[in-house]
Structures are given as C-alpha cells and as structure tokens.
C-alpha cells in the first residue's frame, strides 16, 4: 500500500494522521481511498478532477506533469505540497 503524507494544514481532515496508507494504482485512486476513510479529503484537494491550483504532488520524490494520473507502486511515497514559483514546485 502506498503511503500518502498529509500536509499539516490538512491533518484536521484525517483526525491528526500525518501519514495514511491506502491502496490504489494512481494518485487519484489514493486520494479517493483516503476520502473513503476520511470524507471531505477529496473535496479539499481536488477541483474538476485535478489537483487544485496551488497544490502539487510528488511520487517517490518526483513531480510529474500527469498530476493525479501519475501511477504509484505498492511501496510508493506520495507527498502533497504547495505548488511554488521558481521551478515546478516547492520541491525545487
């Protein structure tokens, strides 16, 4: 199961959990799985089926232009971070 790191300002939605392990083959599937456990999470993160502007996602340390369509492995680490200037995202 992939591990999704929950940003500090969203942990109120996941009952304080910093990391959530969920099954799924894409980032979108993971988000939906988290939403199943913690309703409201998907609405916080998604807009029209994509990540909200201002948010970025990294799978195993790499940001992909596919966004939520990026595929994940069973042991993948997924981070949701602010999308920033000076390059792709706050990952630098």
Partner 1 sequence: MMGANPKLDPIRGEGSGNGSRPQPSYKVIGTRPIRPDGVDKVTGRALYGADVRFPDLLHGKVLRSPHARARIRSIDTSQAEALPGVKAVVTGADLPTAEDRFEDLGEGGINLRYLSENVLAHGRVLYHGHPVAAVAAVSPHIAEEALSLIQVDYEVLPPVMTLEEAMAEDAPILLEELRTDEMGERGNRPTNVAAHFRYELGNVEEGFAQADLVVEREFRTQTVHQGYIEPQMATALYDQDGQITIWTSTQGSFSVRSQVAEILQIPVSRIRVVPMEIGGGFGGKITVYLEPVAVLLSRKAGYRPVKLVMSRAEVLMATGPTSGSRIRMKMGATRDGRIVAAEAELVYEAGAFPGSPVGSGAVVLLAPYNIPNVRIDGYDVVVNRPRASAYRAPGGTNAAFASESVVDELARKLGLDPLEFRLKNGAKEGDRMANGLPHPKIGYLETVEAIRNSEHYNAPLEGRGRGRGRGVASGYWGNWGGKSSATAVLNADGTVTLNEASTDIGGTRASIAMQFAESLGIPYEKVKIRVVDTDCVSYNDVTGGSRTTFGTGLAAYELGQKMKAAMIQRLADIWGVSPEEVVYEEMVFSAGENRVTFDEAAKLIERRSTPVMVEAEVYGKKYGPAFSTQCVDVEVDVETGKVTILRYTIAQDAGKAIHPAYVEGQMQGGVAQGVGWALNEEYVYDREGHLLNASLLDYRMPTALDLPMIETLIVEVPNPGHPYGVRGVGEVNIVPPAAALANAIYDAIGVRMTELPMNPARLLEAILAKQAQESTQPA
Note the residues at the interface with partner 1 (CB under 8 A). Answer: 5, 7-10, 44-45, 52-55, 58, 61-65, 79-92
Query: What is the nearest approach in angstroms of partner 1 to the Cβ of residue 22?
Result: 17
Query: What is the nearest approach in angstroms of partner 1 to the Cβ of residue 34?
Result: 13
Query: What is the nearest approach in angstroms of partner 1 to the Cβ of residue 88?
Result: 5
Query: What is the nearest approach in angstroms of partner 1 to the Cβ of residue 73?
Result: 15
Contact residues for 44 (Cβ-Cβ < 8 A; gap 6+): 10, 13
Closer Cβ to partner 1, 23 or 82, answer by number = 82
Burial of 10 (0-12, 13-18, 19+ CB in 10 A): middle
Closer Cβ to partner 1, 1 or 10, answer by number = 10
Alpha-carbon dihedral angle through residues 63, 67, 72, 77, given to the nearest 10 degrees:
50
Closer Cβ to partner 1, 58 or 72, answer by number = 58
- CA-nearest of 74, 75, 73, 20 to 45 is 20
């Amino acid at each position: 199961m992939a591990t999704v790191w929950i940003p500090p300002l969203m942990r109120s939605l996941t009952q304080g959990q910093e990391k959530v392990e969920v099954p799924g083959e894409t980032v979108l599937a993971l988000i939906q799985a988290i939403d199943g456990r913690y309703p409201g999470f998907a609405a916080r993160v998604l807009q029209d089926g994509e990540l909200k502007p201002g948010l970025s996602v990294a799978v195993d340390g790499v940001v992909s232009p596919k966004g939520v369509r990026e595929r994940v492995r069973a042991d993948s680490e997924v981070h949701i971070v602010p999308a920033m200037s000076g390059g792709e995202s706050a990952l630098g």
